Amino acid sequence: MQICPLLSNGPVVTRHVVVVGAGIVGVSSAIWLQRAGAQVTIIDRAEPGKGTSHGNAGVLAACAVAPVTAPGLRTKAPMMLMHPDVPLYLRLSYLPRLVPWLGKYLSVANDADTRRISAGLAPIVSDSVDQHNSLTADLGLSDWVTDSDYVFAYRNRTAFDAEAYTWALRAQAGFTPELISGSAVRDYEPALGGDITLLATMKDHGFIRDPGGYVAALAQAFAKGGGAVMQAEVKDFDLTGGTITAVHTSQGAVTCDDIMLATGVWSKPLMAKLGLNVPLESERGYHIIFKDATGGPSRPTMIASGKFVATPMTQGLRCAGILEFGGLDAGPSKAPLALLRRQAKAAFPNLTATSEVEWLGHRPAPSDSLPLIGQIGTSRVYTAFGHHHIGLTGGPKTGRLIAGLIMGHPSNTDMQPYAPQRFSKG
């Protein structure tokens, strides 16, 4: 058992922290807590790295500071839903349940809120590669992080200019692309089809070639360092005197001094047990792995026309994207996968593969696109979920921030934008 001096001149005490969630955010938090001297137990109903952290595009997207809810979305969304080649889908049977959240989500699709949200996202993502390197450095896992450009591929300059608002937000956060056009596009990336005539390349980014394997490797390193990983389902909490004392699981009660919730979209029912109604929805995301692929890109490439990212991974080429609202319970839809397959073949006309693997996962989407990071009152219950599209990108930084709060070593980052009780105001 490790010990941690919480006060420089006080008694030496040991804190037992339970981390609920074995995705990238939970495992990163557990490692940083362990480094700070806490005794840590990770609890998840699945094995580490098996959920949403497995299925993402693998990009360490430091420039991902622009939310989906840009100005104009309220008028564009209905038309987008009706267009067969736009990667936005809605299961109509789910609409009645979605409406309350959707109203809040669309209410921030204005310039002032978009800039506020962008300013909140920047501290979580903008140093992503450095944060992943810091997380893995002394664990012998540095090889998991691959430095690379992050490429945005456009049909022409007009298509690039149509996203000027988003690029201005990125520039404000310190990210300005290098543009490649004409014949130089094929020199830079030979796999791209002739319809793509302009690239916006972002330097100093990176990617993970097997996100699920990466999280599993981090969890193994955590366990090797003395941490505990428990496969169980969290049922309820003991809050004696308003402070956490234990968590009840399908495997029995686990006592603790602090608890941290990092269970993505499944955090919503757990927050309800604590008396908080969080406007959080599943943004269903899809990927297709083209196994043993040839004819794909050599670095992560966002195909702007299809809003999906193609990333070379260990298994093959992973094409990940699509935005679908339909809840947690329904199975995968055929249309999003068909569109993703169609768009991938158009972008990479010489793409071949031995087989394909389809996947559906659930991105945790708060109505204001900002994660919930912080303590609920003085309960010693902490949150670290709601990362929308930036879970892998921002997981290590989030873990570092929340570990500092729990162990009494807060950073100089303004945590107010991520306050977990912000939706209970007013």
Whether 366 and 278 have beta carbons less than 8 Å apart is answered as yes
pLDDT band at 2 (very low <50, low <70, confident <90, very high): very low
What average pLDDT score do residues 275-291 get? 96
pLDDT given for residue 76 in this prediction: 83
Q: Are 153 and 193 in a shared domain? A: yes
* Residue 128 in domain: yes
Write out the residue range of the structural domain in which residue 340 sits.
Answer: 59-209+280-366
**pLDDT tens digits, one per residue of 358-378:** 999 999 999 999 999 999 999
Q: Are 362 and 382 in a shared domain? A: no
Q: Are 92 and 155 in a shared domain? A: yes
pLDDT band at 13 (very low <50, low <70, confident <90, very high): low
* Residue 8 in domain: no
Check pLDDT > 50 for residue 189.
yes
Q: Are 310 and 389 in a shared domain? A: no
With H, G, I as helix, E, B as strand and everything else as coil, classify residue 162: coil
* Domain of residue 270, CATH code: 3.50.50.60
Q: To 10 degrees, the CA torsion angle through 316, 318, 319, 323?
A: 160
Q: Are 286 and 345 in a shared domain? A: yes
* Residue 7 in domain: no
Q: Are 382 and 409 in a shared domain? A: yes
Place of tokens 């988003």: 166
Q: Are 334 and 400 in a shared domain? A: no
Q: How far is CA 177 from CA 162, 165, 249, 312, 390, in A?
A: 15, 14, 48, 21, 20
Domain end call among 347, 366, 385:
366
Place of tokens 């006309």: 349
* Residue 11 in domain: no
Question: Total structural domains in the chain?
Answer: 2
Check pLDDT > 80 for residue 395.
yes
pLDDT band at 75 (very low <50, low <70, confident <90, very high): confident
Check pLDDT > 90 for residue 86.
no
Check pLDDT > 80 for residue 84.
no
Check pLDDT > 70 for residue 270.
yes
d(CA 293, CA 352): 6
pLDDT band at 418 (very low <50, low <70, confident <90, very high): very high
Q: Are 268 and 412 in a shared domain? A: yes
**pLDDT tens digits, one per residue of 208-257:** 999 999 999 999 999 999 999 999 999 999 998 899 999 999 999 999 99
Q: Are 172 and 102 in a shared domain? A: yes
pTM of the model: 0.94
Q: Are 28 and 76 in a shared domain? A: no
- Residue 137 is which amino acid? A
* Residue 305 in domain: yes
Domain end call among 349, 366, 383:
366
Domain end call among 330, 349, 366:
366
Tokens of 221: 């390193």
pLDDT above 90: percentage of residues in the chain: 89
pLDDT given for residue 77 in this prediction: 80
Q: Are 244 and 386 in a shared domain? A: yes
**pLDDT tens digits, one per residue of 112-146:** 999 999 999 999 999 999 999 999 999 999 999 99
Q: Are 273 and 286 in a shared domain? A: no
pLDDT band at 424 (very low <50, low <70, confident <90, very high): confident
Whether 302 and 152 have beta carbons less than 8 Å apart is answered as yes
Angle at 354 between CA 348 and CA 359, to 5 degrees: 75
* Residue 9 in domain: no
* Residue 2 in domain: no
* Domain of residue 136, CATH code: 3.30.9.10
Rg (CA), the chain: 21
Check pLDDT > 70 for residue 3.
no
| Mean pLDDT score across all residues of the chain | 94
d(CA 153, CA 201): 8
* Residue 6 in domain: no
